[in-house]
Amino acid sequence: MIDLHTHTNESDGSFTPAALIEAAQSISLQALAITDHDTFAGYEKAAPIARAAGFDLVCGIELNSKFLGKNIHLLAYFPLQPPADSFRSWLAGLQASRRDRNARLISRLQSVGVDIELHEVESVGRSLAGRPHFARILVNKGYALSILDAFQKYLSEDAKAYVERDVPPTAEAIEYVLASGGVPVLAHPIRLGKRNLDEEQALIADLHTMGLPGIEAYHSDHGAADSARYLAIAERYRLVVTGGSDFHGDAKPRIQLGTGANQNLSVPEELLQRLREWAGSR
Ligand code: AMP
Ligand code: ZN
Ligand code: FE
Ligand code: FE
């Protein structure tokens, strides 16, 4: 068993990088990728621990992007060598846009009567705070009953404090990942939110035409029929297949490392081998 999609507390997960490696070893995972949102900080903390333990840790990251007005999540894997410096400078721009969004979100929350300061969010958010950190503070301060309630009342796209974030076009993200030795993969395609299967396939075909080489066929939000459909699409367009739980620890308690939601996940080990072969064949 492997898990190629996980988050640490350097983004919006609850496990420290060290605790995540320990958890992966305790369930005998063969390999783990850390794919925090917009940061390598969790991977970088975990890497020496994994190396010392002889554990197979893969460098990854999850990026937001926009295509045709839709939010597209990409995973980027660097399974053979660390990302080129050009990628890190591009990433610094994304991190700046997230910080800028966070500052505007604070002003917006204050304008609807919430007593909250940027430093409070940054102190729980470590290297990169996200909306889940805002949600936790709103709950702690009594503005919301639960994380979900905080999103519904304040933070989700149709809620009263929502602010847009500047995210790169999907084509640009794909290009930067490929140019720096990485493998970009469409994350949790089920969340494309297409009304029918033809529309879904057409969108994936568009992304493939743009240069996207991979798809996350296995994910905690995918049923068996979904995974089978994405595997068929992968075969049709010759896409690299990946899979992972999207583990966030206590931040998403229904999802277990390696096994997903109610044991609905089992990611074949050979996928990592193929991902490495693809990365090495360019
Ligand atoms: P951000 O990247 O800072 O905009 O935050 C997005 C993250 O918030 C996502 O990765 C989800 O984990 C989380 N999220 C988004 N919508 C909800 C929701 N309705 N309830 C709980 N968590 C959410
Ligand atoms: Zn997340
Ligand atoms: Fe995602
Ligand atoms: Fe994720």
Over residues 198-219, the pLDDT tens digits come to 999 999 999 999 999 999 999 9
- Using a 10 angstrom Cβ sphere, with 0-12 exposed, 13-18 middle and 19 or more buried, the burial of residue 139 is middle
Q: Which residue bears the tokens 């554990």?
A: 55
Q: Quick check: 128 and 95 in contact, CB under 8 A?
A: yes
> What's the CA-to-centroid distance between 37 and ligand 2, angstroms?
6
Q: With 90 as the cut, is the pLDDT of residue 193 above it? A: no
Nearest CA to ligand 1 atom 6: 131
Mean pLDDT within 137-161? 96
Can you give the pTM of this predicted structure? 0.95
- CA diameter of the chain: 55
Q: Are strands 70-78 and 183-186 parallel, antiparallel or unpaired?
A: antiparallel
pLDDT at 164: 93
In DSSP terms, which residues pair with 6 in a beta bridge?
A: 247
* Rounded Cα–Cα distance for residues 129 and 154 (Å): 16
Q: Quick: pLDDT tens for 11-31.
A: 999 999 999 999 999 999 999
Cβ–ligand 1 distance for 62 under 6 Å, the answer: no
Q: Quick check: 231 and 259 in contact, CB under 8 A?
A: no
Gyration radius (Cα) of the chain, Å: 18
The closest-lying atom of ligand 1 relative to the alpha carbon of residue 102 is: 3
pLDDT at 191: 95
pLDDT at 194: 76
Geometric angle at alpha carbon 78, from 77 and 81, rounded to 5°: 175
Mean pLDDT within 134-143? 96
Q: With 90 as the cut, is the pLDDT of residue 257 above it? A: yes
Three-state DSSP at 108 gives: helix
